[in-house]
Amino acid sequence: MELLEQKILTEGKVLSESVLKVDSFLNHQIDPRLMKQIGEAFAHRFSDAGVTKVLTLESSGIAPAQMTGLSLGVPAIFARKRKSLTLNDGLYSAEVHSFTKNVTNEISVSKEYLSSEDTILILDDFLANGQAAKGLINLVQQSGATLAGVGIIIEKGFQDGGKQLREQGVRVESLATIASLNHHTVTFSKEGASV
Amino acid sequence: MELLEQKILTEGKVLSESVLKVDSFLNHQIDPRLMKQIGEAFAHRFSDAGVTKVLTLESSGIAPAQMTGLSLGVPAIFARKRKSLTLNDGLYSAEVHSFTKNVTNEISVSKEYLSSEDTILILDDFLANGQAAKGLINLVQQSGATLAGVGIIIEKGFQDGGKQLREQGVRVESLATIASLNHHTVTFSKEGASV
């Protein structure tokens, strides 16, 4: 998605060979028009998948999930992150380890909003080692719902989460795929260059 | 806002005389079309205020802030919640006590995204005792930005946050105002009934 790649090039901050900060339009400040285009892009890519709900993880996934749900005409759900197990009644939950922050969160979603009748599109802002996506897939599996696939805004193609998911047969669609962050420079791979 | 009040009446769960749960369309699952209408309603109410940015608090404020920013053509920012003070460099931060959860969070926003040139519309899902709104106002004051006002989706008119803010001269616009949750029944006050 070209507008997204331009934003990453002009506003993204390469903090290391593995960390890209996009706080100015995605993770802290949001560019609403870009989010609208991102939502339309995901809706277009998964238009054939019979999606009944969009599932994401708080907080950065919420704006794109809202716009994708709006485009597809289906509800969006954001899984909650918690530090520790509290009341677990009525929740599907899974553990997600963040290597960036070195913390394990429990993520959960109410059983009321995921059912075996649903076809779920999972959305997330970044895909690196795939921990968050795997946790969300775990929630979908617990509910018995069908997984339409995983939509990712920025995939770090040099980490192996995307490869692992695709090898498991999961449909992964990334709007921008980064081949490398070496030398403080963002290099996109071809997959990311196409709309 | 009539559609919002209908949603509250049909899907809201009155858990006590002070707690209303709206997880099916606002706080966990999101109704994207309702969020669009909420964004348009806030944009309409504050169309004369010269808003340059919308500021909310993660997570439930993000979808309505996205839609309001889209309608107004300005960026949205979500303040982050943290349990404890960590790195504070480059952040405006304030403490917010949640009486519902009996926990004090630090909320913060990067100094990069709020400046004295800005005119800020604060948005939040609920207004009860006003702790979150006051914390967000504190962040705006630290930045030297102008406060356009506070937009609230559901105001608990029987708690005094709204009264306190209005007495301080803050413009507060609530899309639905609840007079009472007694007898497991939602009763709206007149302010909430008008669009």
Domains and CATH numbers, chain B: 31-175 (3.40.50.2020)
Chain-chain contact of A65 with B30 (C-beta, under 8 angstroms): yes
Residue of B nearest to A66 (CA): B32
**CA end-to-end span of chain A:** 5
Q: What pLDDT is recorded for position A191?
A: 56
Chain-chain contact of B70 with A112 (C-beta, under 8 angstroms): no
Q: Which residues of B touch A113 (CB under 8 A)?
A: 23-24, 28-29
Per the CB < 8 A criterion, the answer to whether A1 and A41 are in contact is yes
User: What's the average model confidence in pLDDT over A98-106?
Assistant: 85
Q: How would you label A43-72 residue by residue, b for 16+ Cβ within 10 Å and e otherwise?
A: bebbeebebbbbbbbbbbbbbbbbbbbbbb
Chain-chain contact of B70 with A36 (C-beta, under 8 angstroms): yes
Q: Is the pLDDT of residue A161 over 90?
A: yes
Find all residues with CB under 8 Å of B104, minimum gap 6, and list them.
B95, B96, B97, B98
C-alpha span between A102 and A189 (Å, rounded): 28
Per the CB < 8 A criterion, the answer to whether A109 and A88 are in contact is no
DSSP per-residue codes, B18-61: S-EE-TTTTSSEE-HHHHHHHHHHHHHHTTTTT--EEEEETTTT
Residue of A nearest to B113 (CA): A29
C-alpha span between B42 and B128 (Å, rounded): 19
Q: What pLDDT is recorded for position A131?
A: 96
- A42 burial type by CB count under 10 A (0-12 exposed, 13-18 middle, 19+ buried): buried
β-pair partners for A81: A107
Per the CB < 8 A criterion, the answer to whether A164 and A130 are in contact is yes
Look-up of token digits 């007149």: B190
User: What's the average model confidence in pLDDT over A158-167?
Assistant: 98
- Of B32, B58, B74, nearest to A59 by CB-CB distance is B58
Instruction: Tell me the ipTM for this assembly.
Output: 0.95
Question: Of chain B residues 122-181, which have a CB less than 8 A from chain A?
Answer: none
Q: Is A142 annotated as a binding residue?
A: no
Chain-chain contact of A30 with B65 (C-beta, under 8 angstroms): yes
Question: Of chain A residues 46-75, which have a CB less than 8 A from chain B?
Answer: 53, 58-59, 62-63, 65-67, 69-70, 73-75
Question: pLDDT confidence of A190, banded at 50, 70, 90?
Answer: confident
How wide is the angle at C-alpha B45 spanned by C-alphas B44 and B50, nearest 5°? 85
What are the pLDDT tens digits along chain B (195 aa)?
Answer: 999 999 999 999 999 999 999 999 999 999 999 999 999 999 999 999 999 999 999 999 999 999 999 999 999 999 999 865 556 689 999 999 988 778 899 999 999 999 999 999 999 999 999 999 999 999 999 999 999 999 999 999 999 999 999 999 999 999 999 999 999 999 999 754 443
Chain-chain contact of B36 with A75 (C-beta, under 8 angstroms): no
Residue of A nearest to B63 (CA): A63
Q: Which residues of B are annotated as a binding site for 5-phospho-alpha-D-ribose 1-diphosphate?
A: 128-132
Provide the shortest C-alpha distance from residue A114 to chain B (in Å).
10
C-alpha span between B86 and B73 (Å, rounded): 33
Chain-chain contact of B28 with A109 (C-beta, under 8 angstroms): yes
User: What's the average model confidence in pLDDT over A64-81?
Assistant: 97
Per the CB < 8 A criterion, the answer to whether B55 and B157 are in contact is no
